Amino acid sequence: MQKRFMAIWFRHLLTDGLARRRPELAALPFVLAAPVKNKIVITASSMPAEREGAFTGMAVADARAAVPELLVVDDVPGQAAKLLRLIGLGCIRYTPVVSLDLPDGLMLDISGCAHLWGGEREYLKEIVLKLRAAGFDARAAIADTPGAAWAVVRYATRSPIIISGEQAAAICALPPAALRPEPEALERLHKLGFRNIGPLLETAPQALRRRFGKSLLLRIDQALGRVGEYWEPLVPPVPYTERLPCLEPIRTAPGIEIAIEKLLEALCLRLQQEGLGVRKAVLKCHRIDGRKVQTGISTTKGSHSVSHLLRLFKLQIDKIEPALGIELFVLEAPRVEEMETEQEQLWAEARGLGDTALAELLDRIAGKVGAGAIQRFLPAEHHWPEQSVKLAGSLTEQPETVWPELPRPIRLLGQPELIEVMALVPDRPPKVFTHKGRRHTIVKADGPERIGREWWRDGGEHRDYYIVEDNEGNRYWVFRSGHYDGDDAQWFLHGYFA
């Protein structure tokens, strides 16, 4: 799959965000300002302020001289990151990989997503119009590389969609700042007379490295796709999360168990109030050496029982390496499900698949041998025995039909296995059969039971099944495919009885 990236640039991110919260400011020339180098400097300006001549980076005194009615608002550090994160989380509806490009942009990996909106042009139009409708002056560009998309969205005036493989032609006329060089390298480029990127692409790499260092070459290679570029994607917050900071580092298993119990008490109380239960929980342990270790559990059905979930986590404590100590525990429940309110006294007498004790027992077994070792089967509406069963999706899933009343083997082979048979009478059960080199002498037999194919699905021979018992007391389910036809009749072993 061809990789494609979309860069989104917000020309007035902070002022647009403030005007969105305070609509009375939208038509006024106002700026956000903060102290920089012993003077108040504009850090973000609104569109009306820029039209009047107040720009980001200008001292507030100079801006007020140019725009007497200018309104100055204190800039709060960290606002851009918070606002971008909120917008980025909203963009996850368009692609699962969204990254922050501080201080005023987002980077989206849109590979394999644009066709869902009818193509890249409609995809870009949909996102930009949504952002502008929310009050943000947004621009977007699409290219094969993040570097090319970043350059085009900020400095290009032509089509924002770059044809695959044409990123060099798209950026060659742009100024050197479009490559995101270091400030010192950008200043040196201006002094040497580089006004666009084209001459840099034609200059020998050795000369560029000698004059501008490795960072400029890296930016060029990233923009052209010669070198990959990593962007850390946003991770949506887990809505059900509990944190437990520790006054002293925890290094022992009993201490970890106590921490887990406290977290579960807080989490389960919240889930119980909302009528929810845990299906998957993850414990993240942040150590004082800066590393993070984690473990998790899953349940067969939703549960907000502290004792049950704690027993499951106890099975995982040995896998946690505390090293020098754990200073922060975080318990997340990324998967929950709705639970019906239970009356404990009534359910104490319950039996069957709805019994909570059974679900808790299965969870403990799964914690030891793995969830894949536990399976439940339901009947399916098919004639062929190997197609007449299906895996149940959950412990409480109800069958759509009933099990056949005829006897069936406790172990049914997924595919029948060919056997060699000797029979005294052609249409009667076998007297001897050989399977995997072992000879079985039949002393008892019952049958036949004829099972036909489903003619509306496929054609072929019917099967005549027999339950046979050998001289060692073992019972098998064997069948002949089709009618007896001389020496060409084929027999198969299909299952084992208890």
Instruction: State the CATH number of the domain containing residue 62.
Output: 3.30.70.270
344 pLDDT above the threshold of 70 = no
Write down the pLDDT at residue 487: 59
Of the listed ranges 89-93, 234-238, 278-282, the least confidently predicted one is 234-238
444 and 302 inside one domain: no
380 and 305 inside one domain: no
Cβ proximity of 271 and 240 under 8 Å: yes
Parallel, antiparallel or unpaired: strands 30-36 and 71-74: parallel
Residue 351 lies in a domain: no
Cβ proximity of 263 and 244 under 8 Å: yes
491 and 437 inside one domain: yes
6 and 152 inside one domain: yes
Cβ proximity of 225 and 144 under 8 Å: yes
445 and 491 inside one domain: yes
Write down the pLDDT at residue 345: 44
Place of tokens 């060099």: 168
Residue 130 lies in a domain: yes
Name the domain boundary from 128, 146, 175: 175
Of the listed ranges 6-15, 146-155, 402-411, the least confidently predicted one is 402-411
Residue 353 lies in a domain: no
Mean pLDDT of the chain: 89
Residue 415 lies in a domain: yes
Cβ-Cβ contacts under 8 Å for 198 (sequence gap 6 or more)? 172, 173
Starting at the edge strand found earlier in the chain, the sheet holding 241-250 runs: 241-250, 326-338, 276-287, 292-303
Write down the pLDDT at residue 452: 85
CB under 8 Å, gap of 24 or more: what pairs does 383-390 form?
A: 383/451, 383/452, 383/453, 383/454, 384/451, 384/453, 384/454, 385/412, 385/451, 385/494, 385/495, 386/412, 386/413, 386/414, 386/415, 386/416, 386/494
Residue 22 lies in a domain: yes
Write down the pLDDT at residue 326: 94
The domain total for the chain is 3
Residue 97 lies in a domain: yes
251 and 329 inside one domain: yes
Parallel, antiparallel or unpaired: strands 475-481 and 39-45: unpaired
Range of the domain at 129: 1-175
Segment 7-36, tens digit of pLDDT: 999 999 999 999 998 888 888 999 999 998
Name the domain boundary from 131, 154, 175: 175
Name the domain boundary from 126, 159, 175: 175
163 and 284 inside one domain: no
393 and 289 inside one domain: no
Of the listed ranges 163-167, 430-434, 454-458, the least confidently predicted one is 454-458
433 pLDDT above the threshold of 90 = yes
236 pLDDT above the threshold of 50 = yes
pTM (predicted TM-score): 0.60
Cβ proximity of 278 and 302 under 8 Å: yes
380 and 273 inside one domain: no
275 and 146 inside one domain: no
Write down the pLDDT at residue 343: 45
420 pLDDT above the threshold of 70 = yes
Instruction: Tell me the CA distances in angstroms from 323 to 257, 283, 328, one per residue in order.
Output: 16, 16, 13
| Of the ranges 4-8, 270-274, 417-421, the best mean pLDDT one | 4-8
166 and 245 inside one domain: no
Cβ proximity of 146 and 107 under 8 Å: yes
Segment 459-489, tens digit of pLDDT: 778 889 999 999 999 999 999 988 876 556 7
* Rg of the chain taking only CA atoms, in angstroms: 35
Cβ proximity of 489 and 482 under 8 Å: yes
Confidence bin at 347 (pLDDT 50/70/90): very low
Residue 188 lies in a domain: no
165 and 254 inside one domain: no
Residue 496 lies in a domain: yes
